[in-house]
Structure 1
Amino acid sequence: MKAISVLGSTGSIGTQTLEIAQEFPERFRVVALSAGRNLPLLVEQISQHSPEVVALADDSLLPELQDRLNALPTDRQPDTLPQLVGGANGLNVAAAWDTADLVVTGIVGCAGLLPTLAAVRAGKDLALANKETLIAAGPVVLPELKKSGSRLLPADSEHSAIFQCLQGTPWAENASLSTGVPTPGLRRIQLTASGGAFRDWEAADLEKATVADATSHPNWSMGRKITVDSASLMNKGLEVIEAHYLFGLDYDHIEIVIHPQSIIHSMVELADSSVLAQLGWPDMKLPILYCLSWPERLETPWRRLNLTEVGQLSFRSPDPAKYPCMELAYAAGRAGGTMPAVLNAANEEAVAQFLQERIHFLDIPDLIDATCERHKSDRMDHPQLDDVLAVDQWARDVVREQVERGTRRIPMAAMAA
């Protein structure tokens, strides 16, 4: 039985991980949970899984959580009440919990960086769903992995597809996970993208884009921030940087392909020209399960892929005019050092401003580009953790300053009002 710690247990990745733990109680037990502010759902999770420790990002909510647990009916009480911890240190405690074998990192954004590092330094293996860990802090994380011997298992669908395709190659036998060294026999990675909410829009029509438009994904049900990233294709640009760190391939050999059906989750081309792909219905539970069960595969009752039901698989190159964020991500990745951290933080803040309807969708790449330009003279090649955290905060401040003082495009909702 594998003991797991779930960081971000009330989010999409966390809830699906716990569903898997319930489906396979003989294989997985939950020993640690961390969450944000969704106390009703967290209490249900504690009741169902009886973790040993529970961490809340906001430690002011700990008394309320304790009261809710005490008020549970007898038949819903956990086997033993968990230790409750809070704040940034509490998240680190849950991440490095002694009895955990694997830590699922489902905390969104750079907030997940410090607890992920705590897990690595404690020698835990990680199911990595927080892409910012490598994007913002790859130069910091990779040496820590080498030092501790921790392994990163990619939990997002695209990198899991690559990881699965590489099983049975020389890489799987001889290379450690996430060392940043070139993967033997791997020539090219093709990351598939749904194309997001604006997949079928003309670039010129994006002037009309609203928050409601950008948060309506054609294939997936996700959080608002990641859905906007999908609409701008920044999510795929960030995945390019993550793939570089995970598999050691240079940016000229990592490509993005629009695949509207979202059945092929990514492809790899090997040295002999063979192309391998991993296929499946669009469902995050499969890559999460593979992380939890690796190197084994578990029998599931889940819906089986039927290609005759799918009918056709189509592909096209992304339009740079419609997706400028894609090129910004490649440029930041090639620059390296602290530039990807600035890109990521600027994007997070710009998307937040857009969701508040303070800027237009097309302002997002403009703000990111301007912030990255300002950072060029200060970019560091070999940053330490404090450097990454400092430039992350700097980039957020720069975006907010630009929004406050600059004349941005007027959001369509404001025009209608």
Structure 2
Amino acid sequence: MRRVAVLGATGSIGGSALDVIARHPADLRASVLSAGRQVDALVELCRQHRPDHAVIAAAEGYRALRDGLRGAGLDTQAHAGSEALGALAAGEACDTVVAAIVGAAGLDSTLAAARAGKRLLLANKESLVLAGELMTAAARDGGAEVVPIDSEHNAIFQCVPTAQAREGLRRIVLTASGGPFRGRSRDTLAAATPSEAVRHPKWSMGPKISVDSATLMNKGLEVIEAHHLFNLPGDRIDVLVHPQSLVHSLVEFVDGSTLAQLGLPDMRTALAVGFGWPRRMSSGVAGLDLLAHGRLDFEAPDLETFPCLRLAYAALAAGGTAPATLNAANEIAVAAFLDGRIGFLAIPSLVGDALAANPAGPADSLDALREADLAARRWTEHALPRHAA
């Protein structure tokens, strides 16, 4: 029986994880659930899944969570704050951690799980983007099993799950749906609205990740993730736009062979792989009927219209704290866009300016990365009025 901590339980990935867990009551149990500020939603999930522990990130939500759990007649213990979350992720309450907290807020708990040697289903891409070298070292030293849950990295993992399987690997190819604005010109995106940007054509995701998909920053962050997960330089990590989102990624070997993983666009497949690997378990996702879908299309990404992908490659090449700066500036810019304070095209402009204004330094400690993250956030916040919508 795997005891699973679902960190970010109220989000889309958390919901998918809990769906898979509920399908396997003899093998999986949600023992820890966490949320950011949504106390009522967290209590409702606790009603359904009856975990041992529930954590609300916002300290001011503790009393409401405690009282809500008591009112529901649950024995679930209430906690609040990042320290409690990290302790539960690293402690005896779980052996498997779904790291699905969006943004840099998920870094501490993800690192704690890695250091404690847990099976880590990694859906928090910012942990690798912000602190990839530290994260991979923590997983290696702690003996953690890391199974990436992004559909693209999970696809690569399925094709080459071990270091031995990666011998002879020439390159990997991440696929991208192209997001809701695929085929649009840069000029037409000046008036793009948040409601348009979060309307993803294939995937059901939260607003921040959906905007990242619309700018192609999501794919840029995934390039940086892939570098750390599979120990490949940026020039051996390619991106292809594939609007059907059925081929989730490809790997090419030196002998000319190419392997691809295909499936319907549903995160439950990747989560089931993470829970069950190396065996397979049902996910609730149907098989892929290629005749019904008819065709598979591929095209090069448009880096002029969507420069965030180019900026991510540049940050990876610069190394050090540059990816942390990229990630922090992007988080601030996307939040401002979702709030209606800046336009869509201001997102890459702000990120590019932040990278230029905050040169990369050594990424040799978590303190250095946090300083770079904070500096980029402050710089971007200060620059927002120049890009006001």
TM over 0.5: yes
Counterpart CA distance in 1 for 2:100 and 2:283 is 23
1:170: how far off? 5.9
Determine if contact 2:180/2:200 at 8 Å carries over to the other structure. Answer: yes
| Alignment-derived partner of residue 171 in structure 1 | 164
User: For 1:204-219, what aligned pairs fall within 5 Å after superposition?
Assistant: 204-219=187-202
Partner residue of 1:118 out of 99, 102, 112: 112
Q: Secondary structure at the match of 1:6?
A: strand
| Alignment-derived partner of residue 272 in structure 1 | 255
| Alignment-derived partner of residue 374 in structure 2 | 393
1:301: how far off? 5.2
Q: Which has the higher Rg, Structure 1 or Structure 2?
A: 1
- Residue 87 of structure 2 corresponds to residue 106 of structure 1: no
| Alignment-derived partner of residue 43 in structure 1 | 43
- Residue 287 of structure 2 corresponds to residue 304 of structure 1: yes
Deviations along 1:22-64, whole A, 9 cap, x unmatched?
1111110121111122222212222232222221101221211
1:221: how far off? 2.2
Determine if contact 1:354/1:360 at 8 Å carries over to the other structure. Answer: yes
Which stretch shifts more, 252-261 or 60-69? 60-69
| Alignment-derived partner of residue 87 in structure 2 | 93
User: For 1:18-37, what aligned pairs fall within 5 Å after superposition?
Assistant: 18-37=18-37
Gaps of 5+ in 2: none
1:299: how far off? 3.8
Gaps of 5+ in 1: 173-182, 412-417
Counterpart CA distance in 1 for 2:46 and 2:210 is 29
Counterpart CA distance in 1 for 2:58 and 2:342 is 29
Partner residue of 1:289 out of 261, 272, 297: 272
Counterpart CA distance in 2 for 1:33 and 1:390 is 30
Q: Secondary structure at the match of 1:171?
A: coil
Which stretch shifts more, 299-308 or 336-345? 299-308
Q: Secondary structure at the match of 2:63?
A: helix
Counterpart CA distance in 1 for 2:146 and 2:35 is 21
User: For 1:132-171, what aligned pairs fall within 5 Å after superposition?
Assistant: 132-167=126-161, 171=164
1:369: how far off? 0.8
1:212: how far off? 2.3
Determine if contact 1:156/1:288 at 8 Å carries over to the other structure. Answer: no
| Alignment-derived partner of residue 232 in structure 2 | 249
Partner residue of 2:325 out of 332, 339, 342: 342
Residue identity opposite 1:126 in structure 2 = L
Determine if contact 1:32/1:97 at 8 Å carries over to the other structure. Answer: no
Aligned residues: 389
| Alignment-derived partner of residue 221 in structure 1 | 204
Q: Secondary structure at the match of 1:222?
A: coil
Q: Secondary structure at the match of 2:164?
A: helix
1:135: how far off? 0.5
Deviations along 1:224-272, whole A, 9 cap, x unmatched?
1111111110000000000000001111110110000000011110121
Deviations along 1:328-355, whole A, 9 cap, x unmatched?
0000001111110000000000111111
Q: Secondary structure at the match of 2:325?
A: helix
| Alignment-derived partner of residue 328 in structure 1 | 311
Which stretches of structure 1, 4 residues or more, deviate above 3 A after TM superposition?
299-302
Q: Secondary structure at the match of 1:351?
A: helix
Deviations along 1:356-392, whole A, 9 cap, x unmatched?
111111111111111111121xx22342011111111
Residue identity opposite 1:395 in structure 2 = A
Counterpart CA distance in 2 for 1:170 and 1:250 is 16
1:300: how far off? 5.0
1:306: how far off? 0.3
Deviations along 1:173-216, whole A, 9 cap, x unmatched?
xxxxxxxxxx4221111110000111021223222322222222
Which stretch shifts more, 242-251 or 212-221? 212-221
Q: Secondary structure at the match of 2:172?
A: strand
